[in-house]
Structures are given as structure tokens and as C-alpha cells.
Amino acid sequence: SQTIHQWPATLVQPVGSPLSLECTVEGTSNPNLYWYRQAAGRGLQLLFYSVGIGQISSEVPQNLSASRPQDRQFILSSKKLLLSDSGFYLCAWSVSPENSSPLHFGNGTRLTVT
Amino acid sequence: AQSVAQPEDQVNVAEGNPLTVKCTYSVSGNPYLFWYVQYPNRGLQFLLKYITGDNLVKGSYGFEAEFNKSQTSFHLKKPSALVSDSALYFCAVRDRGGATNKLIFGTGTLLAVQP
């Protein structure tokens, strides 16, 4: 069966420090991969998605970047964190092509920038 | 453009009573529709989806949803609520014939089941 791992679960970082959040998927090949941010425990904002190694699409201009160095690895990064980067970050995967397939989410990383 | 509306920020229901969480959608073509549940500090869990066919879809944990094309709705239902059903519920839509294949989420409805 397929599983998705996200770490760390919680992170407290000072403003201006770098960020690296990692997500890996097991049990499937060539998945579509996604990074979402959830602010104030509600709305989901799609940050990045990837349909293959090295292929990243950015949904919103921001202080963050994403990379996909391996088929089932998706990394969210920042060179210098801002206070506004605080939030709950969720990684997800889906079958490619998606069509009727749902997204499957990791357990998230709660990032607090101080 | 695709959109999803969850008109209720919160739904309160007594344990043992039926529950309904509302969702309406707007797509240019035919939709794929999904429901997810999120418990505190956890990721979203897939509950059920509508692809085609029977308008009543059954999913995990006793939940079901009814697709109504004329009303463009996909309401989530359960005959008898449990306290453990208290969580945040998200409706999502994907336009199978649209220019984009992205999944669009609603803003979520907090379900509170009182014992």
C-alpha cells in the first residue's frame, strides 16, 4: 500500500533562518506531488505541484521554493523565513494522471516563525 | 472557473442525530467531487468521491454523500452522528473537462457533535 511521510511534525524557526521540509511517498511510481499551506486552521492554499522529477509549478509568488530531486521526494525550502510563513504545511500525492483520483495527504508540519 | 462553496462555517448536532454538511460547486463541465475530513493537527483524510452513476455515494466511517446535478450540490450525510465525528470537513471539486486538472477545495465546515 502507498504511504506518505512528512517531517518534521513541528518546527520553530527564527525570522531570517532557512527552511527545509521533506516529503516522501512509498508504494507508487511517478506520483503527482503537492505542497499546500493551511492558515488559521481552515483554508487550503496550493503552493506548488509537480508532475515529475525537476518539474515544479508555482501557484503563488512567495518566499518559498520547491524541488523534486527524486521521483517520490518533494522538498519545500526557504532561504530566509518571514513571520508570514508560519502555518500548517501539508504534502500530498495523487496518481498520475489524476482524473478521478483523490489526493492523499501527509500529517503535516506546523511551522512557527518567531 | 471552478469553485466550491461550503456555506456553513460550523454545524452543531447532538450525538445520535442525523448530520448534513452542505457543499455546492461550480464547474464548466462535469465534476469529480470529493469529501475529506481533518482532525486537529493532522492531514486531510479522503472520505468518498463521486465519479458517475448512482447519485448516492457511500464512503468511510458510515458517511455518504448525495450528488444533485440540478442543484449543483454534493452534501455529506450520516444517519447517526458520533462524538468522534467532530472534525473539520472539506468538499473539493475537479472539472474533468476543464482546462486545469487541479482539485479545488472549499473553506471547510467544522462539525461539532455534542454528547
Torsion angle (degrees, nearest 10) of CA A95, B75, A47, A10: -90
> Per-residue pLDDT tens for B7-41?
999 999 999 999 999 999 998 878 899 999 999 98
- Put simply, the chain A residues between 46 and 65 with a CB less than 8 A from any chain B CB are 46, 49
**Mutation for testing the B interface, residue in A2, A48, A100 having most B CBs under 10 Å:** A100
**% pLDDT > 90, chain B:** 79
Q: Give me B24's grid cell.
A: 455546492
Using DSSP's 3-state secondary structure scheme, residue B6 falls into: coil
A83 Rama sector, left if φ>0, alpha if ψ -120 to 50, beta otherwise: alpha
Q: In chain B, whose CA is at the least distance from the CA of A43?
A: B107
Hey, is A63 helix, strand or coil? coil
Tell me the pLDDT tens digit for each residue of A2-54: 899 999 999 999 999 999 999 999 999 999 999 999 987 688 999 999 999 99
Q: Are strands A10-13 and A109-113 parallel, antiparallel or unpaired?
A: parallel
Cα dihedral B87, A28, A56, A24 in deg (nearest 10)? 60
Instruction: Write the CB contacts of A61 (distance below 8 Å, at least 6 apart in sequence).
Output: none
Partners of B98 on chain A (C-beta within 8 Å) are none
A56 close to A67: Cβ distance less than 8 angstroms: yes
d(CA B55, CA B52): 8
* Whether pLDDT at B91 is above 80: yes
Residue in chain B lying closest to A110 (CA): B41
**Quick one: pLDDT at residue B53?**
87
Is any Cβ of chain B less than 8 angstroms from the Cβ of A1?
no
A71 min Cα distance to partner chain B (Å): 20
Q: Is A105 on the interface with B (CB under 8 A)?
A: yes
C-alpha cell at A87: 502555518
Q: How far is B40 from chain A (nearest CA, A)?
A: 9
Average pLDDT, chain B: 93
